Structures are given as C-alpha cells and as structure tokens.
Amino acid sequence: MNPDPIFNGLYVPLVTPFTTDLRLAPDALARLADEALSGGASGLVALGTTAESATLTAEEKQTVVRICSTACRAHSAPLIVGVGTNDTATAITSLRELAAAGDVAAALVPAPPYIRPGEAGTLAHFTALAEHGGMPLIVYDIPYRTGQALSAGTIAALSRLPGIVGIKHVTGAIDATTVELLDCPPPGFAVLGGDDVVISPLVAAGAHGGIIASANVRTCDYAELISLWRRGSAATARRLGAELARLSAALFAEPNPTVIKGVLHAQERIPSPAVRLPLLTASTSTVRRAALLAGSPARHASPA
C-alpha cells in the first residue's frame, strides 16, 4: 500500500479580511485562522486566490503569513503559502524568501499563468523551482485560470521530481486525467481536490483531501466529510457531500471570495464584506441564499 502523503485532510485557504476602508484586518484574520484549525482543518493556506493575494502589498503579505504561521504553530499544523508568478526566476526568489523565513511547510505554485509555455515548458519551470527554490512544492493545476492543462503523464513526471509533494487538482470536472491520477497516485504524493462542489466524489475516488475555499464556512463539516470517506462511511458521506455541494455552489455564485466574505460578515466573523478591485462585493440576494445554507441569516449583508 502506498504510504499516506504528508499533506492530507482539509486545508482552508483563508480569506483576507478588510475593514470598510479596505485596510487589512489582522485581528479578524487571526480569529479565522484559529477557528479553522480548531474546527478540524489539517492546515491552512495563506495567499491563495481566495486571499485576494494579487491585491496585497508586500508588507500585507508578510503580515498575513506571520499571522497564519502563529496560528499553525499553536495548533502544530502545517502552513502552505501561495506563490504565483509566470517568471521562473522571480518565483525562485520568492520561494527562497519563504524558506528563509521558516514556518512554511510548502508552497502552492500554479503552472505559469497566461503565457501558456506548453507542458514541456511547465515541467522545466517546476524542475527549476524544485531544484533551486529550497522548499517543498504543491503544484496548482487550474487550467481555467492558467490557460495550461496538465496531462496525466506530465503530472506523473512532476510527482517524480524531488521536492514536489503534491498537487491541487482543479480542472473543473472529474475527467479522464482525474481518474488516471487517482487510480494509482505516486507514493507519498498528495492529490488534493480544489473544485469545492465535487470534493465529495473526488475524495470518494481516492483524493487525499482538499484545499477548499468553501471551508471558510462550516469548516467542521468539510473536515468531517473527508474523514467520513476515509473511514469508509459512504452513505453518511454522500448525504453530507450533497448538502455541502449545494453550499459550495451558492458560495461560488459570484466571483470568489466575494460571497464567502459576505457570509462571514453576516456571521459577524469579519468586520466587513469588502473586497478590492477588480472584485465587487457580492449582491445581497446571493449572500442571503448562501448564508441560509451556511446556517446564518444574512442580517448584515451589504446592499445589492
């Protein structure tokens, strides 16, 4: 039997809470981090897409990583940090800085976005990062954002590179590549789902866990869903998975993380639902629907 990878279970890619005037709200972020880990998450992801990392200043990014690192140390949990760039040299520099800072278990790195270097170029990119970045890597396979799909053969080649410890698989569907990947994952290589709506069937098919934005809301239930499938409690897992799929669909009815932030604000867990341009706050009606599925009425939703 293949040994379990280091990264399995639920990882929560935290939102970045802002005040109404769009300043970072560090106390709210610290509470969210602690709540996620207390709620059963195996670890956290900082500076992912859900964190609006593209809009954060360098100083804000350092603050976010520091807050999440503190929470992970307190819970003896791993921290994954997003590093996104289509320039290999810049990505190596960012990875080395993270490695020097310590307290980061792995970096979540997408295939080079926008420029579409092809699978050979993508493999060369990750080879350079693995050789020179100085820290473990989780490949972020999300072709609808990067424009670059990865075949099962390329993923297998990536999994054999020293220092690449897993993949966040976000292809928008359970397709032939997904089935081949889950049929016999490489030993110690984590396959983590990232399509929230289909996380239940992904784990049922053999994924080791997930990096699930929807788990900012109802963390305990998403953690329990993964645990149920791993324990073989299929009937209960299917029922919970269907319920959470409806929640995830509602949370992604408008661009991520606008609805999630609206719900967290409705639950009085963050000071405002504010997002930074080019995102716009989610509409009242969308937040209300998602909040009801999350178990909280949207009393404080922003106007449509």
Check if the beta carbon of residue 44 is closer than 8 Å to that of residue 74.
Answer: no
Reading the block at residue 252, the tokens are 């992604």
Given 61, 168, 222, 261, the catalytic residue: 168
CA–CA separation, 146 and 139 (whole Å): 12
Given 140, 144, 222, 261, the catalytic residue: 140
DSSP class per residue in 100-166: HH----EEEEES-TTT--HHHHHHHHHHHHHHHS-S-EEEEE-HHHHS----HHHHHHHHTSTTEEE
Question: Is 11 annotated as catalytic?
Answer: no
Secondary structure letter of residue 69 according to DSSP: H
Closest Cα to residue 62, out of 81, 34, 43? 81
CA–CA separation, 21 and 217 (whole Å): 24
CA–CA separation, 93 and 240 (whole Å): 42
Check if the beta carbon of residue 218 is closer than 8 Å to that of residue 207.
Answer: no
How many residues does the structure list for the chain?
Answer: 304
CA–CA separation, 88 and 65 (whole Å): 22
Question: Is 114 annotated as catalytic?
Answer: no
| 3 state SS of 168 | strand
> Checking DSSP bridges between strand 190-193 and strand 209-211, what pairing results, if any?
parallel
Secondary structure letter of residue 255 according to DSSP: S
Q: Which residues are catalytic?
A: 140, 168
